[in-house]
């Protein structure tokens, strides 16, 4: 199952989606909205997706993970629209014969999802709002510039 | 030839969701972005990524008639 959805994430449904009698391990990663980020009091996050490309990238990542590890099934779902503090915005669920490959693939997949899948987060905090990727990119440029000056 | 433009996140806020645009045959995705920046110089500050028909491409990727061309800032999904 690979999708973006406006609905709260349905973890039991995701577990059913990766159910497989050959699986001895299922690992679930949930990313949730933190109350505080970079010293700001977060009220909610709001996600926007390029939905068709996002699901295509999720499928490509799952296929790449299945080439690296012997997996049974993978599900990746990202919520879009407003996500209140404490609720999950992303789920990566992996089933495999054994736990080592399920943990490794789940960790690899959430890292790649955050780098590659075209979804953007706008943080609404007390006193304002900000797109998150922009500051991260600007901070990376500042770090690179500082390294360059040394 | 004509291509379909899509903008996301801060670019969508500034430019709208997108639309159709005529471009000369052989135009690259980077040249199309430069043309958009020439019309709206404040866009030059945005670090942009390019996708054509739902796949990431580099600046030098040549466009074809009816391509869907997406411009967006670095992604930031996840919790």
Which of A4-13, A41-50, A120-129, B70-79 is modeled with the greatest confidence?
Answer: A4-13
Q: What is the ipTM of this complex?
A: 0.94
Chain B interface, best mutation among A34, A42, A45, A50, by max B CB count within 10 A: A50
Question: Are the Cβ atoms of B79 and A49 closer than 8 angstroms?
Answer: no
| Residue-averaged pLDDT of chain B | 94
Query: Of B39 and A135, which is predicted with more confidence?
Result: B39
| Residue-averaged pLDDT of chain A | 90
- A54 Cα to chain B: minimum distance (Å): 8
pLDDT of B58 over the 70 cut:
yes
B-contacting residues in A 47-76 (Cβ below 8 Å) = 47-50, 52-54, 56
Contacts of A63 (CB under 8 A, 6+ apart): none
Q: Cβ of B79 under 8 Å from any chain A Cβ?
A: yes
Residue B45: its pLDDT value, please?
80
Residue A147: its pLDDT value, please?
64
In the numeric block, which tokens belong to residue A18?
Answer: 């990766």
pLDDT of B50 over the 60 cut:
yes
Please report which residue ranges of chain A form alpha helices under DSSP H.
11-17, 51-68, 99-116, 132-149
Q: Which of A20-29, A43-52, A134-143, B62-71 has the lowest mean pLDDT?
A: A134-143
Average pLDDT over residues A12-36: 94
Per-residue pLDDT reduced to its tens digit, A33-89: 888 887 888 888 899 999 999 999 999 999 999 999 999 999 999 999 999 989 999
Query: In Å, what is the CA distance from A59 to each residue of A7, A52, A73, B38, B40?
Result: 20, 11, 11, 36, 35
Average pLDDT over residues B16-20: 95
Question: Are the Cβ atoms of B79 and A133 closer than 8 angstroms?
Answer: no
CB A116 within 8 Å of CB A85: no
State the Cα angle at B43 between B40 and B44, rounded to 5°. 110
Interface contacts (A, B; CB < 8 Å): 87
Confidence label for B19 from pLDDT (cuts 50, 70 and 90) = very high
Question: Are the Cβ atoms of A131 and B76 closer than 8 angstroms?
Answer: yes
Residue A72: its pLDDT value, please?
97
Nearest to A62 by CA among A90, A89, A94, A19: A94
Percent of chain A topping pLDDT 90: 71
CB A71 within 8 Å of CB A51: no
Query: In Å, what is the CA distance from A10 to each residue of A6, A69, A91, B33, B64?
Result: 11, 26, 9, 39, 40
**Minimum CA–CA partner of A141 in chain B:** B47
Per-residue pLDDT reduced to its tens digit, A3-17: 999 999 999 999 999
Residue A140: its pLDDT value, please?
57
Please report how the helices A51-68 and A99-116 are oriented relative to each other, as an axis angle in degrees rounded to 10. 150
Q: Cβ of B15 under 8 Å from any chain A Cβ?
A: no
């Amino acid at each position: 199952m690979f999708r973006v959805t406006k609905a709260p994430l349905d973890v039991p449904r995701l577990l059913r989606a990766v159910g497989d009698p050959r699986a001895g391990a299922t690992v679930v990663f949930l990313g949730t909205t933190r109350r505080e980020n970079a010293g700001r009091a977060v009220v909610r996050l709001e996600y926007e997706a390029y939905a068709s490309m996002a699901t295509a990238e999720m499928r490509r990542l799952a296929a790449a993970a299945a080439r690296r590890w012997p997996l049974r099934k993978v599900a990746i779902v990202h919520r879009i629209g407003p996500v209140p503090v404490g609720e999950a915005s992303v789920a990566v669920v992996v089933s495999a014969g054994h736990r080592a490959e399920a943990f490794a693939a789940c960790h690899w997949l959430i890292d790649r999802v955050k780098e590659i899948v075209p979804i953007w987060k706008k943080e609404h905090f007390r006193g304002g709002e900000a797109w998150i990727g922009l500051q991260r990119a600007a901070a990376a440029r500042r770090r690179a510039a500082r390294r360059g000056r040394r | 030839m004509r291509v379909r433009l899509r903008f996301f996140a801060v670019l969508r806020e500034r430019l709208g969701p997108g639309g159709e645009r005529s471009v000369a045959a052989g135009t690259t995705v980077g040249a199309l972005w430069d043309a958009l920046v020439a019309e709206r110089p404040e866009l030059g500050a945005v670090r942009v990524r390019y996708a054509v028909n739902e796949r990431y491409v580099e600046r030098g990727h040549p466009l074809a008639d009816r391509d869907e061309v997406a411009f967006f800032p670095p992604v930031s999904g996840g919790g």
